[in-house]
């Protein structure tokens, strides 16, 4: 059902928005507390959350792990350019990048770079080794550029009403 474009485009009402906003603040909130917070019956709340999941709007409930707390205090964003923009090279990189050690996120980009990797490593040597061992040796990679992250400032995980977003 999440891949059904009709289901994904079905209207999202104020109750759905309240559920998403509340869960974005505390995804571990019990259903009865969530129902009370948004002003609906627990059975209705459970059905609404399940429907949002089935439609692919709520994609999951995740732990927000601090990389520094698990020995990865240095984070970086690494821009990657591929040698050629063929389906084979894109698929080759795309299929391996998420599983590389320390990769927190992979973004396929439009523009001057093809991919952007968010990585966490133990220190400068670990970052150097990550780039040398995993990226410069990858047959699809032509060039990398690394930017260190000084501080990660959290954004909102709930995006709100698309009509109110700036363009």
Instruction: Tell me the helix, strand and coil percentages in the chain, rounded to 5.
Output: 40, 20, 40
Q: CA-CA distance, 136 to 143, in Å (whole number)?
A: 7
CATH-assigned architecture of domain 67-149: 2-Layer Sandwich (3.30)
Rounded CA-CA distance 18/158 in Å is: 10
- The rounded distance, in Å, linking the Cα atoms of 122 and 140 is 26
Give the pLDDT confidence score for residue 5 in this predicted structure. 60
Buried b (16+ CB within 10 A) or exposed e, 84-104: eeeeebbebbbeebeeeebbe
Show pLDDT as tens, one digit a residue, over the chain (167 residues). Answer: 455 665 557 789 999 999 999 999 899 999 999 999 999 999 999 999 999 999 999 999 988 889 999 999 999 999 999 999 899 999 999 999 999 999 999 999 999 999 999 999 999 999 999 999 999 999 999 999 999 999 988 777 666 666 555 44
What's the whole-model pTM score?
0.81
Q: What is the pLDDT of residue 64?
A: 85
Tokens in use for 90?
């894109």
Helix axes 31-38, 42-54, angle to 10 degrees: 100
CA-closest candidate to residue 138, choices 102, 74, 76, 84:
84
| Residue 150 Cα distances to 11, 19, 111, angstroms | 40, 33, 24
> What does the domain layout of the chain look like in residue ranges?
5-54, 67-149
Residue in 104, 65, 51, 111 with CA at minimum distance from that of residue 85: 111
Second CATH level (architecture) for the domain 5-54: Orthogonal Bundle (1.10)
Give which of 29, 135, 20, 12 is closest to 83, Cα–Cα. 135
Q: Is there a contact between 23 and 29 (Cβ–Cβ < 8 Å)?
A: yes
Q: What is the pLDDT of residue 1?
A: 47
* Cα dihedral 108, 105, 120, 95 sign: negative
């Amino acid at each position: 059902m999440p891949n059904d474009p009709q289901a994904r485009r079905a209207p999202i009402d104020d109750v759905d928005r309240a559920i998403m906003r509340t869960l974005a603040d505390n995804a571990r909130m019990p259903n009865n507390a969530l129902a009370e917070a948004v002003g609906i019956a627990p059975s209705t709340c459970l059905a609404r959350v399940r429907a949002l999941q089935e439609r692919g709007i709520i994609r999951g409930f995740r732990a927000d792990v601090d990389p520094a707390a698990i020995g990865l205090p240095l984070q970086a964003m690494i821009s990657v350019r591929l040698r050629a923009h063929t389906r084979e090279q894109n698929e080759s990189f795309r299929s391996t990048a998420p599983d590389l050690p320390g990769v927190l996120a992979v973004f396929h980009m439009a523009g001057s770079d093809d991919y952007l990797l968010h990585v966490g490593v133990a220190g400068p040597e670990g970052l150097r080794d990550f780039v040398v061992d995993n990226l410069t040796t990858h047959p699809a990679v032509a060039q990398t550029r690394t930017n260190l992250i000084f501080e990660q400032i959290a954004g909102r995980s709930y995006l709100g009403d698309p009509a109110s977003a700036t363009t």
